[in-house]
Structure 1
Amino acid sequence: MWQHRRARRDGGEAAPGQVRFDAADWAWEFLRRNADYAADWRRSVPRHPPCLTLMDGTRLLQLPRRFPLAEKWGLLAFADPVLAAREAPVFWHARALKRAVRLRALPPREGDKEPPNLLADFRVERHAVIDADGRVLVLLKGRGVHVAVQLHDLRVLTRRFRPAFELERLSDLADQTELLKRLQRFMVSGTAPPETSVFGGDERLRQALLALDESLNGKTYRQIATTIFGAKMVAEDWQGPSQFLKDRTRRLVAKGTELMKGGYRDLLG
């Protein structure tokens, strides 16, 4: 099947030194294997929305209209399922991302202790989208995590500003504090340790993705287990009294299938 042929370029098999996937990347890897999504993408116009790169490296997509069929999948516009995460920007809808920082840009003023900011001060990958209503959403991606930032002003994309962060409800304080700490770390150069995935670690996601790929290709549970755990472990444990390896393989196939069919949204929370 087409999904498996394109699945080998995922972040679960990244070599040392490559950029680590964040939860949004993993969500895309599972979604792009969904045959119904691929069918909707093939019917979409345009299939490849024009994306610009600003001088500071920010990838920018401006949408002339809404794309309801893409929104059904949690996206503002369709992304090509042939392309793995990080090969092309994927523009998630704010509703799918669930948690976002709301930033209001104030004009710089003399006498401030801190200099005004630029979007490029966040020294990570930046994907910005202007939707059909002129609203701006920026997804900042780096160090194994992402932060969605909703902007009130288009000028923030290219001009200096004083950031003012908005809090709608006191109940949002804990989540917003966590996101703001991530933003602060994004402004620090150098290497920082990657943060923990929301799904219990990238290794489990990688195994679920491999199990899904093998299942989509019609492999048996034993063949799937051999791909994930190696022939030696399978030869030693498969026919033994313990059902642990068989049960674990079944659970990984079930989890991969669940994530492909809609559970990928939980990774974005």
Structure 2
Amino acid sequence: MDGITGETDSLGVHLHYDLGNGDRLQLLRLATVAPDQPLAALVPLDGDGLDRLEAIDRLLRTLLGRKIPQDTRLTPQQRRRSRHMLQAIDGRMNGASYRDIATALFGADRVNDHPWKTSPLRDITMDLVKDAFAMIAGGYRTLLRRRHRGS
């Protein structure tokens, strides 16, 4: 498998897989496992088990050079909202007013269509900032989980 380098220590061989985007994945082949043996993935059997299995499937497909299915954890609307949240929180943390943020996100024409104090874009912008703060406080973990249909 191309893009893999390794370093050995008392635990075993730490394999580093270059993901090609500046990131790399670290895997560990335990010292008791022979080099010609395949690696194994340990998956805790808990509420996140299905998410982990999906991640392992995507990893294995990547390592084997196979087509990776589209990530379905976020809908296009959720991706757009997440992007807007990041832009909104970035602006707010750098001193921008809610109106400035709304103008950057939605354009001056749309912002100027209604009086600012009663504008729906004002409420949307404030919600984006509030929700972004919640993501920063740990809510981002929900983005990494699959959508579960029922219990």
The structure with the largest alpha-carbon Rg is: 2
What's 2:30 paired with? 153
- Counting aligned pairs with the same residue, the percent is 31
Letter in 1 for 2:56: L
Q: Name the TM-score, length of structure 1 as normaliser.
A: 0.38
Consecutive unaligned residues in structure 2, runs of 5 or more: 10-14, 146-151
Cα displacement (A) at 1:240: 8.1
Structure scoring higher RCO (CA < 8 A, sep ≥ 6) equals 1
What's 2:107 paired with? 230
What's 1:127 paired with? 25
What's 2:87 paired with? 210
Letter in 1 for 2:25: H
What's 2:65 paired with? 189
Is contact 2:43-2:49 (8 Å) kept? yes
| Greater helix content | 2
Superposed, 1:73-92 pairs within 5 Å as: none
Letter in 2 for 1:184: L
Secondary structure, aligned partner of 1:127: strand
CA–CA separation in structure 2 for the residues paired with 1:230 and 1:222: 10
Is contact 2:16-2:25 (8 Å) kept? no
Cα displacement (A) at 1:231: 1.3
Find runs of 4+ consecutive structure 1 residues off by over 6 angstroms: none
What's 1:39 paired with? none
The reply on whether 1:259 has 2:126 as its aligned counterpart is no
Cα 1:57/1:233, change in 2 over 3 Å: farther
Is contact 1:215-1:253 (8 Å) kept? yes
Letter in 2 for 1:263: G
What's 2:3 paired with? 56
Is contact 2:116-2:122 (8 Å) kept? no
Deviations 1:65-95 (A, max 9, x none): xxxxxxxxxxxxxxxxxxxxxxxxxxxxxxx
Cα 1:179/1:250, change in 2 over 3 Å: same
Cα displacement (A) at 1:254: 0.5
What's 2:50 paired with? 174
How many equivalent residue pairs?
135
Cα displacement (A) at 1:222: 1.3
Deviations 1:197-230 (A, max 9, x none): 5586332222111111111122221111001111
Is contact 1:215-1:224 (8 Å) kept? yes
Cα displacement (A) at 1:119: 6.8
Secondary structure, aligned partner of 2:80: helix
Consecutive unaligned residues in structure 1, runs of 5 or more: 1-54, 63-117, 129-137, 139-150
